[in-house]
């Protein structure tokens, strides 16, 4: 893992070759700057979002194939029922959607009790304000910069205002919260996200669409670090 001040890159396997997930995870697992900080796994249930991807069995297989911490993004209904098993299986961070539950604190508590870090994701059109009072109850806030459900969408820059608000709160308190962004992150968009105060950047095609995924991870992290230094 990188130190707390270094931007984190979490390649999204939604953009990888599903038939070769072990090899695709290994491509970003070499020691040094080309190593990913987290591996981001999108779980979609065809209910909360219209798409269907993969579930717990694939995550369990991936956990055996890589030592990179697994970052599960659950775009699913009923996270109280379905989220804790991902933490029990060994996922490092398990993120569920604010829009999928009436009691996010309860879901987060269950994820933590199962041994994982608890993340809360908010869609681009979901207001941030109702969730500001529960930031202490979660470990990760995932700001969606595209509508969840499909890869390859265009970055929605307006969501960076949410990042700026949360960054200000975190920096002016003793809150330990990781701010993550997901959607349309690439060489053209990562700098504005970094300047806004993002800690962890989910990147799909920007990593797995590159000739060398590891080099892409290193280049994105360096770009984000430079932009963040500029933003402070």
Residue pair 179/141 in contact by the 8 Å Cβ criterion = yes
Q: What gap in Å lies between CA 114 and CA 168, rounded to an integer? A: 30
Which of the following CATH numbers is that of domain 8-231: 3.90.1150.10, 3.90.79.10, 3.20.20.70, 3.40.1080.10?
A: 3.20.20.70
What confidence score (pLDDT) does residue 3 get? Answer: 55
What confidence score (pLDDT) does residue 1 get? Answer: 40
What confidence score (pLDDT) does residue 139 get? Answer: 98
Percent of the chain with pLDDT over 90: 80
Average model confidence (pLDDT) across the chain? 93
pLDDT digits (tens, 9 = 90+) for 131-182: 999 999 999 999 999 998 766 678 999 999 999 999 999 999 989 999 999 9
| Residues with a known catalytic role | 42, 182
- Mean pLDDT of the 33-57 span: 89
Cβ neighbour number for residue 207 with a 10 Å cutoff? 30
Q: What are the extents of the domains in the chain?
A: 8-231
- Mean pLDDT of the 77-96 span: 97
Residue 188, pLDDT > 90, answer: yes
């Amino acid at each position: 893992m990188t130190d707390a001040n270094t931007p984190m890159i979490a390649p999204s396997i939604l953009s990888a070759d599903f038939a070769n997930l072990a090899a695709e995870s290994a491509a970003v697992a070499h020691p040094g700057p080309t190593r990913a900080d987290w591996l981001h796994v999108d779980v979609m249930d065809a209910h909360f979002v219209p798409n269907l991807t993969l579930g717990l069995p694939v995550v369990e297989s991936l956990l055996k194939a890589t030592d990179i911490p697994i970052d599960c993004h659950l775009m699913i209904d009923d996270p109280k029922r379905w989220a804790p098993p991902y933490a029990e299986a060994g996922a490092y961070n398990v993120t569920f959607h604010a829009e999928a539950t009436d009691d996010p604190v309860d879901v987060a508590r269950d994820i933590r009790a199962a041994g994982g870090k608890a993340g809360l994701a908010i869609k681009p059109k979901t207001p941030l304000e109702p969730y500001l009072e529960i930031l202490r109850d979660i470990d990760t806030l995932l700001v969606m910069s595209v509508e969840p459900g499909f890869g390859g969408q265009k970055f929605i820059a307006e969501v960076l205002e949410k990042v700026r608000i949360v960054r200000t709160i975190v920096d002016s308190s003793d809150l330990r919260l990781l701010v993550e962004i997901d959607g349309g992150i690439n060489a053209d968009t990562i700098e504005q996200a970094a300047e806004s105060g993002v800690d962890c950047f989910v990147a799909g095609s920007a990593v797995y669409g590159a000739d060398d995924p590891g080099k892409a991870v290193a280049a994105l992290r360096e770009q984000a670090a430079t932009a963040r230094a500029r933003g402070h």
